[in-house]
């Protein structure tokens, strides 16, 4: 049985794929330049999500206003590991923090926020386990943009195809196109800090 909290992602020895959804003004230049450029802001938190299913739920298969472009951002695993090591949960979980005050003090100065959301099926139904999303603050976004990103892939055409296949009930071809995610290995220290079973 899967752990309630675990990271599932498409990754290889060097990189991990995280998903972001943007409007044309941000997505198109990012794909062209292979880097996030203006009007992408380095001064506000940006959230990266390794679960394709959760991203599809969040963006309604790229149909929500301002989220019509789905980017598969391939980043260095070393950057992802750094984000996890700096992450502080967005809620004062008793299994991690001794007191609410301890959490508050850590959260206030955290460069990275970590939130667990209910994972979803591709049709949007809630599952019994959770999916991670990682918020990069303005203190670390520049590093993400300049050092971690290896490739920005326009995943929007694949999302459109998958959505059509799902609606038509073509499970075979739908499953062929899906990103092949698996459980991502996490250090003991990060497991404890991030509530990963």
Question: Is-contact 73 149, C-beta < 8 A?
Answer: yes
Q: What's 185's DSSP letter?
A: P
Question: Is-contact 145 42, C-beta < 8 A?
Answer: yes
Helix, strand, coil shares, percent, the chain, to 5:
35, 30, 35
The radius of gyration of the chain from alpha carbons, rounded to an integer in Å, stands at: 17
Residue 1: per-residue pLDDT = 40
Each residue of 141-176: pLDDT tens digit? 999 999 999 999 999 999 999 999 999 999 999 999
pTM value is 0.95
């Amino acid at each position: 049985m899967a752990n309630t909290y675990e990271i599932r992602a498409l990754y290889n020895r060097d990189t991990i794929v995280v998903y972001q959804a943007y409007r044309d003004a941000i997505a198109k230049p990012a794909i062209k330049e292979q880097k996030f450029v203006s009007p992408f802001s380095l001064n506000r938190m940006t959230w990266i999500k390794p679960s394709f299913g959760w991203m599809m739920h969040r963006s309604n298969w790229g149909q929500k206003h301002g989220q019509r472009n789905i980017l598969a951002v391939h980043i260095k695993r070393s950057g992802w590991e750094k984000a996890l090591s700096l992450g502080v949960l967005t809620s004062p979980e008793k299994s991690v923090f001794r007191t609410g005050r301890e959490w508050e003090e850590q959260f206030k100065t955290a460069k990275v926020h970590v939130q667990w959301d209910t994972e979803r099926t591709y049709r949007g139904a809630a599952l019994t386990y959770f999916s991670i999303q990682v918020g990069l603050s303005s203190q670390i976004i520049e590093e993400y943009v300049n050092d971690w990103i290896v490739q920005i892939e326009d995943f929007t055409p694949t999302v459109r195809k998958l959505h059509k296949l799902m609606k038509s009930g073509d499970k075979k071809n739908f499953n062929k196109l899906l990103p092949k995610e698996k459980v991502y290995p996490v250090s003991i220290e990060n497991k404890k800090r991030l509530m990963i079973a």
